Structure 1
Amino acid sequence: MKKLLVISLLFIGALVFAQDNKVNFVAENYTKKEVHIKMRDGVELFTAIYSPKDVSKKYPIIMQRTPYNCAPYGESEFKKSISPSETMMKEGYIVVYQDVRGRFMSDGLYDNMRAYIPNKKSKKDTDEASDTYDTIDWLVKNIANNNGNVGTWGISYPGFYATYSLLSNHPALKAVSPQACISDFFFDDFHHNGAYLLSYWKATPLFGPQKSKRTTEAWYKFPDLGTKDDYQFFLDAGSLSNLDKYYGKEDEFWQQLKEHVNYDDFWKKRGILQHLKTIKPAVMIVGGWFDAEDLYGPLNTYSTIEKSSKNYNTIVMGPWSHGDWARNSAEQVIGNIKFGDSISGFFQKNIEANFFRHFLKNNGKGENKLPEAYVFDTGNKEWKTYETWPPKNTEKQDFFLQENKLRKMGAKNISFQEFISDPKKPVPSFEDINQKGITPRKYMTDDQRFASRRPDVVVFETEILNDNTTLAGDILAKLQVSTSGTDADWIVKVIDVFPKDEPETKEIAPYLKMSNYHMMVRSEVMRGRFRNSFSIPEPFVANEKTAVNIKLQDVFHTFKKGHKIQIQIQSTWFPLIDLNPQTFVNNIFYAKPEDFQKQTHRVYNDSEIEFTVLK
């Protein structure tokens, strides 16, 4: 069971700091208290409280609410590290961890992405906002030496609960940092634009079965596939319904995934973005440009708050995978690409600690040295600051997909490039056979040459660039396509093609070369049936030219002089996403073997890619 907990922590990007094994700083400098705080409806939530031993002054409270456990349990058992960072741990905060309702040592039933109740009419109307309010209220009234200011933070799912805390409206809540925050499970983690992320299937038990009692151990199990070759495993499995033998009906989340394949009320009411209005606490959104799990959440949480509130709202986006900023890695490497040294340490000391110190210790008084946007250029490999995100000095530029070229001028005559998409031989999403952890990550910067050389991937690229070109903002693929079938997925990848004389690096995999490296900068999928509505799917008319728009999340990347910008378009991306049968069925989870058909797809030359370009 302990191994399962370790895997769970890997999934959420748990905080890991280098510590001297002989000395536990936390045990030497903090006292620990464990309590069950009663919520308004009588349900009790387990809460671990770490307070500085130095009681000569008052401290702010910093809290994380989590579905992943508050281990180690027991007042004599201490975490090796507490607080968002080692810097803040040594500065001194009252640090609080809480198991959310229905998880581990807390009571009640767990509800995955529990829906917010805007107009509560009785004590029975509880949600994560009311639980947060009740917890904060208890803490400021009962914990000695607190200064009355509370902050929340969290990464991944705990990031969702940090966002949720904004809806609590407790007057003591002054600073909130949602990091890699989930915002909507139809667009984060398990789905992208309606396509089911099959690569997350193994993580399903984390959110599935209910526990029967208070527990410090995992009550869920991850499947034993008997192989490390995910591509072959899922290909052999065939229809998704054949995976039922691994998850029974007690796994509520698996049943929900199968039953709610469209963006229906089940998903809509669990989204949190629509409720982020008139926010008062200071907010610092943190995310990674190469976060394979939660990129949609941070960018859209920031932009939503920016449009609907007048509070202090800032965003930090670094060259990170999921949760990398909370680690103390000397070198920041994603896959084969190194982005620099001590990048996470810089963030922890100079950005994160400053944010919480300013609003929780200094009451928001004095000079705030943080900009609106602290963003890392992943091409030039350097930090930049801006007054807005995207920066004001950008413009939209359209590039046309024509005869394998990416051109600013469109041709008058309509032509197309076609390819055969075969669900029985799908395009791999990465070259690796065995991914680390239960979800893939490094593919976000992987070399894409293996895909560009396949006949079922069409490639368009610019000439060698004469000047640097910096993309700073979102990307919109405005495709004109057709299929001989009645359904299809459309995948768009934006790639930085390095020059042939690119120097080798020690980070490059032994089977690769940096010469002509095809670094993926951004990618996205659109399940074609949702091209007009995520709620009401509709088939394609066979062989009829059809518009499919795909929004790719923001980038901040400089394509250097001597490089090329490349676009790859394909219709399978396996096993990252599940297989589209390419014949329209009501529910792909229950598609039959005969539904999976080879089809001919066309990409027409009036298709465009709209970039946000820094002037």
Structure 2
Amino acid sequence: MRHQLRIGAGALVALCLTVANAPSQAPDADSRFERTEAMVPMRDGKKLFTTLHVPKEPKGPVPIILLRTPYGIDGRAERLLRNYFKDMIDDGYAFVLQDIRGRFKSEGTFVMTRPARDPNDPKAVDEASDTYDTIEWLLKEVKGNNGRVGMLGISYPGWLAAVAMLDPHPALKAVSPQASPIDMFLGDDFHHSGAFRLSYGFEYVAMMETDKTNFSFHFDRHDTYDWYLKLGALSNVNRKHFKNALPTWNDFVAHPNYDTFWKTQSLEPRLTRVTVPTLTVGGWYDQEDFRGPLKMYELLEKHDKKGQNFLAVGPWNHGGWASGKADRLGRVPFDSDTGGHFRKEVQAPFFAHYLKDAGKAPPEARMFLTGANTWATYDSWPPKGATARKLYFHPKGKLSFDPPPERAAEASEYVSDPANPVPYRPRPVRPTYPGPEWPEWMVQDQRFTHGRPDVLSFETEPLAEDVTVAGAMKVKLFGATTGTDCDWVVRLIDVYPEDYKKPPELAGYQLLIAGEPARARFRKSLEKPEPVKPGAVEEYLVDLVQGHHRFRKGHRIMVQVSSSWFPVIDRNPQKFVPNIFEAEDADFQKATQKVYHTPAFPSRVELDVIPARTN
């Protein structure tokens, strides 16, 4: 059987950590349920470990909420009932958790992102068939159920929920994929537009494949930036550490381009119909699976004929809505209990409506507006009436809504040295898991790179009025390099005024709104990379995905450009090699990069903007 690629180390880990550390808001929540364990049989004879939590004193027939996970369910439900599920308890549900095939106490072979089964083979299995068989068993065994089942989950469990709705059991009536990945080469955990997410991918593989339990790779340096730099080329990973024994890393090496391996795992071509009401959930500061939820909603919306496709995005990191108030992230406040709002006002009503015929369906799109710290409701996402505004790069670090004049200086330049890459967060860069900075790095102050000679900064004057972004954010960059390959890393930043007082510690703060890489070798094709001609001016599209942010009057908008973002993105050798995973240390070289800002080559950021009155 061909090995399939593993999904996101954050999966339920982030949820488990936040739930475990959150205060118990309802200490006796689990005492209201009768807990039983079962080994649920699948169609091929394997049995999956499952815990059932059924109300001791139901007020009537109850729906079933199902969460499936590869991260272990022992003791999990008792914590979830105090947090993630808390606002659904009074409505009356039975809650069921299950270890997926081959994990923890479940039988069978574990295949992550298990491929779709052969529909002509009645004994073939996949995650959808295991979910189907589980629901069939639950309908018979859970006393007093009302014949309806809902599914939800964050990251990997969210992906499992999404897969289940592609081939649903008739009793599956509501699904909420939350922070689900959708395509591991185009975005989410392991690659962004083909650029490899080194520290995340390396540490995930070590965690999931070195041992059956969650294993943390032992770094012999406090600063993993230094460790990864001394590691050298990616070809050293198997030589020095993995010894060709970890299948996922071997998959990375064998599939450096967007080939059939990646395409067959993508959910994108399979999202061709809305089979059950769907609430897709994401976070604006999700450090792992940001693109997936927005793309999933977009693709399903094309086929939503009954108005059953919904979206909710808040100011959260990966799984940040699962417990607690989520009223701030790092040093950035959100001025309200955004986590509680989602769980009580969005998640609970969604399942109550479709599983109990209670209340109203949620709004089409419930979106938190960062910068303004308010919620907004839209009939569509992106909202109608948005217009694209262009901010042009100018000489001497200027950014303006005015295009560059005819006599503008040709380009700004810098030297990119792979031996001294730009860090993606302030050093020391401690490990991804269980490192404490990983969940918050997307809101860390970006001044730690501002002023480096290998980072270009383009900045507006203080804004004369608010600029509210709602939708697409893209950068069209005209660049040239003296190498034959390179990366262009672009960051969009909200620069707070120096006299900012609410709170004063944010004075001059540089808040990252979005950041993404573009790998030059993939500028024309993700399937067939090709080298760059040294000195040739090429157009590069850097997709910043989407945003919903208000740049306030008096703030500045900044765009930073560099050619490294280490070690969250692997270093580009800046010399074209057929496979970067097989590059040698000698392949890495310095390169001079030029970013053009002339009428002929107008580098710019394009933002979908809405007038303030529509909020």
Q: TM-score, normalised by structure 1?
A: 0.91
1:486 maps to 2:484: yes
The answer to whether the 8 Å contact 1:188/1:294 transfers is yes
Corresponding residue number in structure 2 for 1:37: 40
- In structure 2, give the amino acid aligned to 1:340: D
The answer to whether the 8 Å contact 1:83/1:95 transfers is no
For residues 85 and 196 of structure 1, do their structure 2 counterparts lie closer, same or farther at Cα, with a shift above 3 Å needed? same
Corresponding residue number in structure 1 for 2:141: 142
The answer to whether the 8 Å contact 2:235/2:584 transfers is no
Alignment of 1:66-215 (within 5 A): 66-72=69-75, 78-79=78-79, 81=81, 84-117=84-117, 120-186=119-185, 187-200=187-200, 201-208=202-209
- In structure 2, give the amino acid aligned to 1:315: L
> Take 2:429 and 2:418, find their aligned partners in 1: how far apart are those partners?
21
1:271 maps to 2:277: no
Corresponding residue number in structure 1 for 2:29: 25
Corresponding residue number in structure 1 for 2:459: 461
> Take 2:128 and 2:334, find their aligned partners in 1: how far apart are those partners?
38
Q: How many residues align?
A: 588
1:539 maps to 2:531: yes
- In structure 2, give the amino acid aligned to 1:171: P
- In structure 2, give the amino acid aligned to 1:60: P
Alignment of 1:154-553 (within 5 A): 154-186=153-185, 187-200=187-200, 201-208=202-209, 218=213, 221-244=215-238, 245-311=240-306, 312-329=308-325, 332-362=327-357, 367-368=360-361, 370-403=362-395, 404-410=397-403, 411-413=405-407, 415-435=410-430, 437-438=432-433, 440-503=438-501, 505=503, 508=505, 514-553=506-545
- In structure 1, give the amino acid aligned to 2:401: K
Corresponding residue number in structure 1 for 2:66: 63
> Take 2:100 and 2:535, find their aligned partners in 1: how far apart are those partners?
51
Residues 175-184 or 440-449, more deviating: 440-449
Residues 373-382 or 523-532, more deviating: 523-532
What is the DSSP-based 3-state SS (H/G/I as helix, E as strand, rest coil) of the residue aligned with 1:567? strand
- In structure 2, give the amino acid aligned to 1:408: F
What is the DSSP-based 3-state SS (H/G/I as helix, E as strand, rest coil) of the residue aligned with 1:298? helix
Superposed displacement of residue 79, structure 1: 4.7
For residues 206 and 145 of structure 1, do their structure 2 counterparts lie closer, same or farther at Cα, with a shift above 3 Å needed? farther
For residues 221 and 334 of structure 1, do their structure 2 counterparts lie closer, same or farther at Cα, with a shift above 3 Å needed? same
Q: What do the CA deviations read for 1:345-392 (whole angstroms, capped 9, x no partner)?
A: 111111111111111111xx6533x21111111111111111111110
- In structure 2, give the amino acid aligned to 1:226: D
Corresponding residue number in structure 2 for 1:602: 594
Q: What do the CA deviations read for 1:194-244 (whole angstroms, capped 9, x no partner)?
A: 111122121223443685xxxxxx2x5321112220111111111122222
Superposed displacement of residue 340, structure 1: 1.8
The answer to whether the 8 Å contact 2:158/2:179 transfers is yes
The answer to whether the 8 Å contact 1:16/1:81 transfers is no
What is the DSSP-based 3-state SS (H/G/I as helix, E as strand, rest coil) of the residue aligned with 1:49? strand
Superposed displacement of residue 299, structure 1: 0.5
- In structure 1, give the amino acid aligned to 2:519: R
> Take 1:79 and 1:378, find their aligned partners in 2: how far apart are those partners?
30
> Take 1:208 and 1:464, find their aligned partners in 2: how far apart are those partners?
50
Q: What do the CA deviations read for 1:134-180 (whole angstroms, capped 9, x no partner)?
A: 11111112221110111000001111111111112211111111111
> Take 2:372 and 2:78, find their aligned partners in 1: how far apart are those partners?
41
Q: Which runs of 5+ in 1 are unaligned?
A: 1-5, 212-217, 509-513
What is the DSSP-based 3-state SS (H/G/I as helix, E as strand, rest coil) of the residue aligned with 1:379? coil
Residues 476-485 or 335-344, more deviating: 335-344
Superposed displacement of residue 412, structure 1: 3.0
The answer to whether the 8 Å contact 1:490/1:527 transfers is yes
- In structure 2, give the amino acid aligned to 1:500: E
> Take 2:10 and 2:450, find their aligned partners in 1: how far apart are those partners?
33
> Take 1:140 and 1:578, find their aligned partners in 2: how far apart are those partners?
48
Superposed displacement of residue 542, structure 1: 0.9
For residues 81 and 249 of structure 1, do their structure 2 counterparts lie closer, same or farther at Cα, with a shift above 3 Å needed? farther
Alignment partner of 2:51 out of 48, 51, 59: 48
Superposed displacement of residue 577, structure 1: 0.8
> Take 1:8 and 1:164, find their aligned partners in 2: how far apart are those partners?
15
The answer to whether the 8 Å contact 2:284/2:313 transfers is yes
> Take 2:439 and 2:320, find their aligned partners in 1: how far apart are those partners?
11
For residues 593 and 80 of structure 1, do their structure 2 counterparts lie closer, same or farther at Cα, with a shift above 3 Å needed? closer
- In structure 1, give the amino acid aligned to 2:183: D
Corresponding residue number in structure 2 for 1:3: none
- In structure 2, give the amino acid aligned to 1:288: G
Q: Percent identity?
A: 39
Superposed displacement of residue 247, structure 1: 2.6
The answer to whether the 8 Å contact 2:488/2:561 transfers is yes
For residues 98 and 569 of structure 1, do their structure 2 counterparts lie closer, same or farther at Cα, with a shift above 3 Å needed? same
Superposed displacement of residue 490, structure 1: 0.8
> Take 1:86 and 1:486, find their aligned partners in 2: how far apart are those partners?
55
> Take 2:574 and 2:59, find their aligned partners in 1: how far apart are those partners?
68
For residues 61 and 83 of structure 1, do their structure 2 counterparts lie closer, same or farther at Cα, with a shift above 3 Å needed? farther
Superposed displacement of residue 519, structure 1: 0.9
Superposed displacement of residue 481, structure 1: 0.8
What is the DSSP-based 3-state SS (H/G/I as helix, E as strand, rest coil) of the residue aligned with 2:235? helix
Superposed displacement of residue 397, structure 1: 1.5
Provide the aligned C-alpha RMSD in A. Answer: 2.2
What is the DSSP-based 3-state SS (H/G/I as helix, E as strand, rest coil) of the residue aligned with 1:16? helix
What is the DSSP-based 3-state SS (H/G/I as helix, E as strand, rest coil) of the residue aligned with 2:514? strand
Superposed displacement of residue 59, structure 1: 0.6
For residues 165 and 209 of structure 1, do their structure 2 counterparts lie closer, same or farther at Cα, with a shift above 3 Å needed? farther
> Take 2:304 and 2:338, find their aligned partners in 1: how far apart are those partners?
30
> Take 1:21 and 1:342, find their aligned partners in 2: how far apart are those partners?
14
Alignment partner of 1:564 out of 556, 559, 580: 556
The answer to whether the 8 Å contact 1:102/1:108 transfers is yes
The answer to whether the 8 Å contact 1:483/1:602 transfers is yes
For residues 520 and 241 of structure 1, do their structure 2 counterparts lie closer, same or farther at Cα, with a shift above 3 Å needed? same
What is the DSSP-based 3-state SS (H/G/I as helix, E as strand, rest coil) of the residue aligned with 2:96? strand
> Take 2:14 and 2:23, find their aligned partners in 1: how far apart are those partners?
22
What is the DSSP-based 3-state SS (H/G/I as helix, E as strand, rest coil) of the residue aligned with 1:98? strand
What is the DSSP-based 3-state SS (H/G/I as helix, E as strand, rest coil) of the residue aligned with 1:324? coil
> Take 2:431 and 2:375, find their aligned partners in 1: how far apart are those partners?
29
> Take 2:116 and 2:400, find their aligned partners in 1: how far apart are those partners?
46
For residues 574 and 367 of structure 1, do their structure 2 counterparts lie closer, same or farther at Cα, with a shift above 3 Å needed? closer
The answer to whether the 8 Å contact 1:156/1:180 transfers is yes
Q: TM-score, normalised by structure 2?
A: 0.91
For residues 568 and 445 of structure 1, do their structure 2 counterparts lie closer, same or farther at Cα, with a shift above 3 Å needed? same
